[in-house]
Amino acid sequence: MEGGEIEEKLLRGGEESGVDNHEGVKLKDKLWIENKKMWIVAGPAIFTKFSTFGVNLVSQAFVGHIGSVELAAYSLVITVLVRFAMGVQLGMASALETLCGQAYGAKQYHMLGIYLQRSWIVLFICSLFLLPIFIFTTPLLKVLGQEDNIAEMAGVIGHWLIPVMFAFMMTFTCQMFLQAQSKNMIISYLAAFSISIHLLLSWLLTVKYRFGIQGALTSTILAYWIPNLGQLMFITCGGCRETWTGFSHYAFKDLWPVIKLSLSSGAMLCLELWYNTILILLTGNMKNAEVSIDALAICLNVNGLEMMISLGFLAAARVSNELGSGSSKAVKFSIMVTVLTSFAIGLVLFVFFLLLRGRLAYVFTDSQKVVRAVANLSPLLAFSILLNSIQPVLSGVAVGAGWQSIVAYVNIASYYLIGIPTGVLLGYVMKMEVKGVWIGMLFGIYVQTIVLIIITWRTDWDKQVAIARKRVRMWLVIEPEE
């Protein structure tokens, strides 16, 4: 079989239901084509995740040079409030990944635009429920035991970041709508433009013109909304002719299946992201809270930056698309290649950060106390990076297959019945402070990763294909609009 024929056969990826397009193809050819397909999606996705996450890193770097109280307050707001809101909205928006991916794989293209509009409605209502936590940031953090000066500054920052909370509604839904169609490049271009503007504005407003925390936050708001406007224009002005047929009243019908899947998706992801939030809150009640929070926030941000690589591979696994197209063997092969590639990269980064230690802290702060604290936490950061090279990809497999509710139960057991109690025991009872809390967190992630590996390994993917077909037929209630 010639190389072009092999590529054509594999790149179809299961267009005909039930056909195994890998049959009769050599392993090295399958690996080559699968890696090509993976990187076409993963490359732009990783860059986009880096750029999006980089907005907070850039803001934190500039805020950190304004003052230590401002850095601690910003770290609290980002870790506690923004990640809380991000977790809820990203989790609920991940229902769109399941719906759009499976509909696109089944060639029911007209349904993608309807699902996108339904998700906008659900997430807008969700945003209204999240609004009070940004309005009442200061009293909320004081109740949680944070120092008064940090809580007061966090309240100011929380009010400024309300537009960012509403930006998530558009960011996540549009990205998942476009990624289901492998239209990743437009997302990457917009992300690159946004982070470039953010760097320039942050320097102008905080360094040159010295507007302080208000200048940094103004730049942050713009950095989140610029790509949203670009994505909306691309979707509605001809960039998605097959999948966007205009605004429709059908978006207000049959919302319940979307709400149900959104709630289970939100629960799954929120339980993961809130885990880190609880880690920060536990740290805030320890001795020398300002230094501890600053050091831990720096480590968690670096850890989160590495996780963007895994989330890029999450998008590249294409589980929902392959299930929708009816190719179970393609699903299994894609999962294997994606997980192993992500783990290999994580292993390299594990060694790198183990050697780098406290030197990375200088990007965010000039405080020697914080630098020493980061150096002390670096081995735990390295192990977190290694685990996070696998766990997000497996969570993405669950989203593609529609297992959100199952993974939510796994997360409750792993994180809240095992990880947090272990962290409290080591951190407070055994007097290990921040290290003990983080070790407990790592243990919870380790348990979750093992459970997800077992679930994925034991899954009957032929059965999952049948379930996906049934789901597409059940929700396919609209004919293509003229």
pLDDT tens digit sequence for 128-157: 999 999 999 999 888 877 788 888 999 999
Reading the block at residue 45, the tokens are 């996705």
Q: Is the pLDDT of residue 341 over 80?
A: yes
Q: Give the pLDDT score at 5.
A: 46
pTM of this structure? 0.72
Give the residue ranges of DSSP H helices in 235-356.
255-284, 289-316, 319-325, 328-356
pLDDT tens, residue by residue, 363-392: 767 777 878 878 888 888 888 888 888 887
CA 291 to chain centre: 27
In a domain, 278, yes or no: yes
Can you say whether the dihedral through the CA atoms of 18, 11, 461, 116 is positive or negative?
negative
In a domain, 257, yes or no: yes
Taking the C-alpha atoms of residue 400 and residue 103, their distance in angstroms, rounded to an integer, is 12
pLDDT tens, residue by residue, 14-51: 444 444 455 556 777 777 777 777 787 777 878 887 78
Tokens 């192993």 label which residue? Answer: 340
pLDDT tens, residue by residue, 416-463: 889 888 988 988 888 787 788 888 888 988 998 899 888 888 887 787
In a domain, 20, yes or no: no
What is the span of the domain harbouring residue 152? 31-475
In a domain, 100, yes or no: yes
Mean per-residue pLDDT, 92-113: 81
Taking the C-alpha atoms of residue 257 and residue 149, their distance in angstroms, rounded to an integer, is 45
In a domain, 214, yes or no: yes
In a domain, 176, yes or no: yes
Reading the block at residue 145, the tokens are 């035991």
pLDDT higher for 80 or 394? 394
The overall average pLDDT reported for the chain is 79
pLDDT higher for 319 or 187? 187
Q: Is the pLDDT of residue 98 over 80?
A: no
pLDDT tier, 52 (very low <50, low <70, confident <90, very high otherwise): confident
In a domain, 335, yes or no: yes
In a domain, 17, yes or no: no
* Domain total of the chain: 1
Mean per-residue pLDDT, 81-106: 78
Q: Give the pLDDT score at 17.
A: 41
Neighbours of 146 (CB within 10 A): 24
Q: Is the pLDDT of residue 191 over 50?
A: yes
Mean per-residue pLDDT, 311-337: 71
